[in-house]
């Protein structure tokens, strides 16, 4: 996908065209994206912001130079001073905003999930196909993480032979009390669902979700969970998702091939040795761990390089996530039969 920069807008003193981004939703992710777009991504400026919480949007606008605070999100989307839109509001609001961007033909980077329901994702796919070219990018930023891109490259080069299994660990220190058990899949493991499709370049065709004794720290949520996913060629992936692991944020992945394995640990570079112990710090959440991935994701989007996840990838992730939720609730294995990939995405 190519997103053409509007030549009318020039970066001050640099002669470089600037993409004027409007951000909808300025909570944790929206504020972080605004910070990166302002200070770490070239060719971008935060030109407008909207959040239901006006104080939050005013704070992010002030930190982003001369960004305008909009009182209406649809006015931001249609405004002539906004070239592209980043949607980082809560999950249930994504569909309406993405459809509004498609209606006026503006590129949109939508945080995951594209929409929480398969029907919502399908409506976006239909609208984008009616438009006729790809405008939607979904924020599956792990595709830009140097560790994951190395894994994919090594696999493609044949460094470990044909893949057989993939082990994933995804842990957070603590979740909000009362989190629905399905959210471990739709909010957290959905990253692994996307990474499996992207790493192996094939679809997930069967899912099962195992529910061990829940942690006493989880306040009634089924936490942890173990997902078992089979792709079309028979590769098995297991995903441990544990959102009250207490000690810190950690993501690991190991690819097992016919002639070797490759492991993604991504530990912090600093190792403290003292009192008979060697210790590393864990980040408190995903932002420091994936800081470079977010920066590369945004730069790719601004440059129009098209390396990000498409609306079809967003649809597929929600489709598989819903099958996993059904498998969690039934305790049974579920087969997954995605519709044929539309031509726009093949």
Of 26 and 222, the one with the shorter C-beta distance to ligand NAD is 26
Structure token pair of residue 25: 């939703």
Q: Which of residues 276-295 bind ligand NAD (CB under 6 A)?
A: 286
Q: Where are the alpha helices (DSSP H) in 24-105?
A: 28-39, 54-63, 73-78, 94-103
Q: How far is the CB of 190 from ligand NAD (least distance, A)?
A: 9
Distance CA 42, CA 170 (A): 31
Closest by CA to 207, choosing from 322, 105, 111, is 322
The yes or no reply on residue 72 touching ligand NAD (CB under 6 A) is no
Q: With CB under 6 A as the contact rule, which of the stretches 85-93, 160-168, 251-259, 334-342 interacts with ligand NAD?
A: 85-93
Helices then strands (H, E): number in the chain?
11, 16
Segment lying near ligand NAD (by CB under 6 A), choices 26-34, 162-170, 192-200, 241-249: 26-34
Residue-level length of the chain: 346
Among 64, 89, 182, 225, binds ligand NAD (CB under 6 A): 89
- 308 lies in the site for ligand NAD, by CB under 6 A: no
Q: Cβ 43 to ligand NAD, closest distance in Å?
A: 22
Which residue reads 């009390």 in tokens?
A: 177
Residue environment code for 286-304, b if the CB has 16+ CB neighbours within 10 A, otherwise e: beebbbebbbbbbbbbbbb
How far is Cα 47 from Cα 90, in angstroms, rounded to an integer? 21
Least distance in Å: CB of 286 to ligand NAD? 5
Query: Considering the rule CB under 6 A, would residue 35 count as an interface residue with ligand NAD?
Result: no
Residues that bind ligand NAD (CB under 6 A): 24-30, 50-53, 56, 73, 88-91, 93, 111-112, 139, 141, 187, 286
């Amino acid at each position: 996908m190519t997103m053409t920069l509007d030549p009318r807008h020039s970066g001050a003193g640099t002669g470089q065209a600037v993409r004027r981004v409007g951000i909808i939703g300025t909570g944790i992710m929206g504020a972080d994206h605004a910070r990166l777009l302002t200070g770490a991504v070239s060719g971008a400026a935060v030109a407008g912001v909207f959040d239901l919480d006006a104080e939050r949007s005013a704070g992010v606008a002030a930190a982003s130079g001369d960004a305008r605070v909009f009182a209406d999100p649809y006015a931001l989307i249609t405004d002539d001073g906004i070239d592209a839109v980043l949607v980082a509001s809560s999950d249930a609001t994504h569909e309406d905003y993405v459809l509004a961007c498609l209606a006026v033909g503006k590129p949109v980077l939508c945080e995951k999930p594209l929409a929480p329901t398969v029907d919502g994702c399908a409506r976006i796919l239909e609208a984008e196909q009616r438009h006729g070219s790809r405008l939607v990018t979904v924020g599956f930023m792990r595709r830009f993480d140097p560790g994951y891109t190395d894994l994919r490259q090594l696999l493609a080069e044949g460094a470990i032979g044909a893949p057989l299994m993939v082990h994933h660990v995804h842990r957070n220190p603590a979740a909000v009390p009362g989190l629905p058990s399905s959210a471990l899949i739709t909010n957290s493991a959905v990253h692994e669902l996307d990474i499996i499709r992207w790493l192996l370049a094939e679809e997930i065709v069967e899912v099962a979700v195992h529910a061990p004794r829940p942690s006493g720290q989880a306040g009634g949520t089924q936490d942890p969970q173990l997902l078992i996913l089979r792709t079309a060629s028979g590769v098995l992936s297991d995903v441990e998702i544990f959102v009250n692991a207490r000690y810190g944020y950690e993501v690991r992945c190991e690819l097992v091939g016919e002639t070797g394995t490759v492991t993604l640990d991504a530990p912090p570079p600093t190792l403290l040795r003292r009192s008979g112990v060697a210790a590393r710090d864990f980040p408190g959440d995903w932002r420091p761990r994936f800081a470079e991935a977010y920066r590369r994701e945004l730069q790719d989007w601004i440059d129009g390089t098209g390396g990000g996840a498409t609306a079809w990838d967003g649809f597929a992730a929600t489709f598989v996530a819903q099958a996993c939720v059904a498998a969690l609730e039934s305790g049974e294995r579920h087969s997954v039969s995605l519709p044929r990939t539309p031509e726009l995405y093949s």
